[in-house]
Amino acid sequence: MKLVDRKIIYFEDKEYPLELKRLKQPPQQLYVIGNTELLKGENTKIAIVGTRKNTEYGKYMALNFSKKLSANGIIVISGLAKGIDSYSHIGAMVEKSKTIAVLPCGLENIYPKENQNLYKIIVENGGLVITEYADRVEADSYKFTERNRIVATLSKGVLVVEGDYRSGTRNTAKIAAELNLPIFCIPSNLDSKKGYVPNLLIKKGGYMVTSENDIIDKIKNRVKQRREVKMRFEDDIEEQFYNKFREMNVEKKNVIEQKVDGVEYRVYSFINDKPIDIDELVKCTNMDVQEINYEITMLTLEERVVELPGRKYIARR
């Protein structure tokens, strides 16, 4: 694979995934090679994660779920590691579908080296390989955790196949939980060391799955609910919903922080029925621009705030 084919997507670019802007410290750029159309928000993506030292059961489950999810138009994301990650990518391509691999290293230092061929096959089959690291950066333990946050954040949910008590899979699941993403778990025998993580997550409230339909139904319901809410709101033209908010007479609260679904957003109390831009929010809140952009992105994704032309914002209460 020629590195000349790689592209850099910067935070300000239209191609930069909106999902990643939810992160408190999002990558400032992404180094990508392959089909960047896969990053578009309308594509439903599921992360499949698990141990590098899988059992035969784990291998079968990763391949099987990846194939069947891909057959239903879902894009599989994983980390190009040995084991479950590799079988997840392969399962998608067996179904002649595209897959996304997220690296903990630069594109000139593919890790693990044994997967260099898999990396090439992913791109040649219309898939995408991405990383936040410059071309020659090598992998280390810290970068695996950073990689995991991208895998989880780009997804509509995370499927945990296998992992023992030391597995980094728990880290990916933790990130998914913090983002309020569904965590799907393939159950294992209670005496299986590699089944420790999925069984533990099921005990803690993760969704036990026995077929791809368990995942598809859950994801479709979540997407449908969000779209219906958005469509009901966007049916009104701009002037109409201005009037609607004005009629509500929502008083601006003189508080520094306001909770939305249990999360504190300082900017939320300064956004009401009158359009406000970032510069005005900086003056009102004494927060820096990066903090405001993060909170605005989160509130927009949660459909609590609407972005108007000119990057002005109005509350949707």
- What confidence tens digit (pLDDT) does each residue in 161-174 have? 999 988 889 899 99
Q: Are strands 263-265 and 258-260 parallel, antiparallel or unpaired?
A: antiparallel
Task: Provide the pLDDT for residue 303.
Answer: 72
Q: What is the mean pLDDT of the chain?
A: 85
- Alpha-carbon distance 28 to 40, whole Å? 18
- How much is the pLDDT for 239? 45
Does the pLDDT of residue 315 top 80, yes or no? Answer: yes
Q: What is the dihedral of CA 33, 95, 50, 25, to 10 degrees?
A: 30
Complete edge-to-edge strand list for the sheet that includes strand 29-34? 7-10, 29-34, 128-131, 99-102, 75-78, 45-49, 158-160, 183-185, 207-208
Quick: pLDDT tens for 22-77: 888 899 999 999 999 999 988 999 999 999 999 999 999 999 999 999 999 999 99
As a whole number of angstroms, the distance between CA 139 and CA 279 comes to 39
Q: Return the beta strands (E) in the chain as ranges.
A: 7-10, 29-34, 45-49, 75-78, 99-102, 128-131, 158-160, 183-185, 207-208, 258-260, 263-265, 276-277, 305-308, 312-315
What type of residue sits at position 284? C
Stretch among 72-76, 122-126, 158-162, 279-283 having the lowest mean pLDDT: 279-283
Domains defined along the chain, listed by start: 6-230 (3.40.50.450), 262-315 (1.10.10.10)
CB atoms within 10 A of CB 135: 13
Range name among 157-166, 179-188, 235-244, 283-292 with the lowest pLDDT average: 235-244
Digit-coded pLDDT (tens) for 66-113: 999 999 999 999 999 999 999 999 999 998 899 999 999 999 999 999
2 pLDDT band, cuts 50/70/90, is: low
Q: What's the sign of the alpha-carbon dihedral 43, 48, 52, 54?
A: negative
Token code pair at residue 120: 């090439």
Label each residue of 203-244 as H, E or C: HCCCEECCCHHHHHHHHHHHHHHHHHHHHHHHCCCHHHHHHH
Instruction: State if pTM tops 0.85.
Output: no
Residues 200-219, mean pLDDT to the nearest whole number: 94
Identify which of 262, 81, 258, 286 has the alpha carbon closest to the alpha carbon of residue 168. Answer: 81
